[in-house]
Structure 1
Amino acid sequence: MEAHSFHQYSGNPVLSKIVLASGLLLVLWNHFVIPVPITIQWIVFAVTILIAGIPHGALDHTVAKQNSTLQNRSFSSIRFYFTYLSRMLLYGICWYFFPSFALLLFIVLSAFHFGETDLPLPFSVTKKSTILLQTNYGLLIVLVLLLTHSSEVLPILSIIEKQNAAFLSTLFKTENSVYLIFSVLCLLIVQFFRLQTKYTLAIEWHLNTLLRTIIILGIIIYLPLPLAFAFYFGGWHSLQSLENIRQHLSNSGTEIMTYPRLLQKCIPYSLIAFVGIGILMILASYLKTESVFLFFFFIGIAILTAPHLEVMSDMYQHLRKKDRIST
């Protein structure tokens, strides 16, 4: 059986190397030169969210319209916004009445979204296998990000999960965290072996994925939470997503979507998000507690995740139909 490789719509190789190198340099600086002051950490966090995190989500309307165009479907902005906002409202209600379920759902949705972006698989890999593998890959990232920063994460989750504070404290104990991460890692290894047995992907693909994952996890573990989140969500995930969106919007065959034009399309919706964050920061300044600010930020990101994931997943499904592999 012929070995296959898959490279399209998995970000930009040069951009990937720059982001990974920046993360490694940040780790070395923080551990061997001088620890990054907490104020600078939050500035880096804010900057990455403002220049990459928010803009990549602000393109959902444009991406959804392109999805419909390329699939020969009619598109209605009114219908899009009604559906988008309805899902946000429904998920927000879920957070209010069923916070434990909403938190679990957010972790699963985030895991799939991160995995779908970071781990591009050819469309001919069965949908069930793809979803399970990508979700477990993303879950590994999410668990490492949360469980290796227990001192910062627990106060935030305790606000959400007041009734389960004791359970969370037990879960975040080092031995339990290691066991959980190791279990997901073992399952992921089994899934990769099954994928290779069935589809015979190129060894280069596996080696690149392994090396990239080790570097990403290492950076997340050895950076404090604000920098770890800034690196992964603001730097790695959002910049790779923006590149994939740029390629997707260039797929009409009329003209190549440049970054200046892409950022121009981000501006209207990004400004709305900036206003929301500004209000959040004003509220946080009165509350004078970092955990409460992060709690509101966390909930805001969570509510946006469900409709954003659907738009991006539809984009990836279309793009990766072009990269079938034979079995």
Structure 2
Amino acid sequence: MTATPSRSEGSLGRSDASGARRRAGRLSLGFGAATILAGLALVAAVDSLPLVYQYLPLVATVVVFGLPHGAVDHLVLPRARNDPVTSRSMVAVGVLYLVVGTSYAAVWFLAPAFAFALFILVTLFHWGQGDVYALFAFTRDGTYLESRTARALALVVRGGLPMLVPLVAFPEQYAFVAGTLIGLFDPAAAAALEPIFEPAVRATVGLGFGALVVASLALGYRRTGNALEPWLIDVAETLGLVAFFALVPPILAIGLYFALWHSVRHVLRTLLVDDPAVEALADGNDLAALGRFARDAAPLTVAALAVLGGLGLLVPRTPATVPDVAALYLVCIAVLTLPHVVVVSLLDLEQRVWGPP
């Protein structure tokens, strides 16, 4: 797959786009390595981290990475198309969030166990989607992940690492988190998920997913051509994340990963369709680029905080503990993620992430 600039790539067609892309790639890899090393180092240094501290990365990054990373959805598609941002385009995204987000919120109230299962599946898809773009845009050499099959397999593997490895390695904590989210609406409903945590089911998930990891990396190797660097990056990240999610308690692991891996990569992606941010990245002025993002994301970050507050007033069981508050935040993230996935999927189409080689 070639890296030919086009109108659909927005700012990536600029003469300084290659420098911005390289800078974004270095930042992506740097934050990724820091995420894995920080989690593994913490586990090695501390025998047992109290539960309340495991929630700290997730809670502390609510207004830094968590909510803001999707708060420029009203801007990314016009920018990727090199079109002006109009009131019509912003209203369209607003209606999308209102209809899809409200509908999914209703599912949490009516069938919370099903809503939780859907959250896991949507997150698996979306986090895998984000990493496919990173492999496609930040490390591609013209051949890696060339086929749709390779990209689809990479999506399942990269999204499955944070969603499935903790299920196999930490079933008790996984069940606890599921219970806290579902318990905000109907504590008894969590019993519907108990079969998922049975040893036989987890063993099947572990073996099946392990086979997919091997298949993905093997297929990637076959498609490397003469350039091994993209494949070696994929191997290092994939195996590093296997160790990360197998050894780091899932509450802590997800908090670190969501903020410093997934959110950072999506922010970098949004910067690459913003002309002034592209120029700043190409010049090595990361703070200027991030400052533009922070300004653009601020209004809808405030709106997302209002959604979080509204959910806190509406849930049948008022959050009273740190796990309850974190659960409420995750439900809010779930409600906002579904329309966000629609926007990112349209962005994938604009940037030909799933296009023909």
Where on the TM-score scale, by shorter chain, does this alignment land: which range?
A: 0.7 to 0.9
- Residue of 174, 182, 202 corresponding to 1:177: 202
Give the Cα–Cα distance (whole angstroms) in 2 for the partners of residues 4 and 210 of structure 1: 22
**1:212 partnered with 2:234:** no
Change beyond 3 A, Cα 1:70–1:252: farther
Moved more, 245-254 or 261-270: 245-254
- The answer for the alignment partner of 1:236 in structure 2 is 261
> 1:262 maps to which residue?
293
Q: CA deviation at 1:251?
A: 8.5
Contact 2:101 2:336 in 1 (8 A): yes
1:148 maps to 169
Residues in 2 aligned to 1:57 and 1:249: alpha-carbon distance in whole angstroms: 15
1:224 and 2:224 correspond: no
Distance 1:112 1:291 in 2: 25
The yes-or-no answer on 1:168 pairing with 2:189 is no
Matched, 1:95 2:108: yes
Structure 2 residue 344 is the aligned partner of structure 1 residue 319: no
1:138 to 150, 159, 163: 159
Per-residue CA distance 1:188-220 (angstroms, 9 max, x = gap): 433444455567584322221111112123223
**C-alpha distance in structure 1 between counterparts of 2:220 and 2:28, whole Å:** 27
1:73 to 1:206, Cα distance in 2 relative to 1, 3 A? farther
Alignment deviations for residues 109-159 of structure 1 (CA, whole Å, 9 cap, x no partner): 211211121133479945566335413431233112344333333134243
Q: RMSD of the alignment, in Å?
A: 4.0
TM-score (norm 2): 0.73
**Which amino acid is the alignment partner of residue 247 of structure 1?**
L
- Name which of structure 1's ranges 307-316 and 147-156 shifts more when overlaid on structure 2: 147-156
Partners of 2:147 and 2:87 lie apart in 1 by 28
Matched, 1:298 2:335: no
**Structure 1 runs not aligned, ≥5 long:** none
For residues 34 and 97 of structure 1, do their structure 2 counterparts lie closer, same or farther at Cα, with a shift above 3 Å needed? closer
Instruction: Label 1:173 to 1:278 Cα distance change in 2 as closer, same or farther (>3 A).
Output: same
Matches for 1:18-37 after TM superposition, within 5 Å:
18-33=31-46, 35-37=48-50
- Name whichever of 51-60 and 242-251 sits farther off: 242-251
User: 1:144 is matched by which residue type in structure 2?
Assistant: V
State how 1:69-88 maps to structure 2 within 5 Å: 69=82, 76-88=89-101
Code of the residue aligned with 1:307 in structure 2: it is: P
Distance, in Å, in 1 between the alignment partners of 2:102 and 2:226 is: 42
Check conservation: 1:29, 1:35, Cα contact below 8 A.
Answer: no
Give a deviation string over 1:9-34, Cα, whole Å, max 9, x none.
99532442244235423432343256
Percent of residue pairs identical: 21
Consecutive unaligned residues of structure 2, counting only runs of 5 or more, are 5-17, 282-287
TM-aligned CA distance change 1:222 to 1:240, over 3 Å: same
Aligned length: 322
Which deviates more, 91-100 or 65-74?
Answer: 65-74
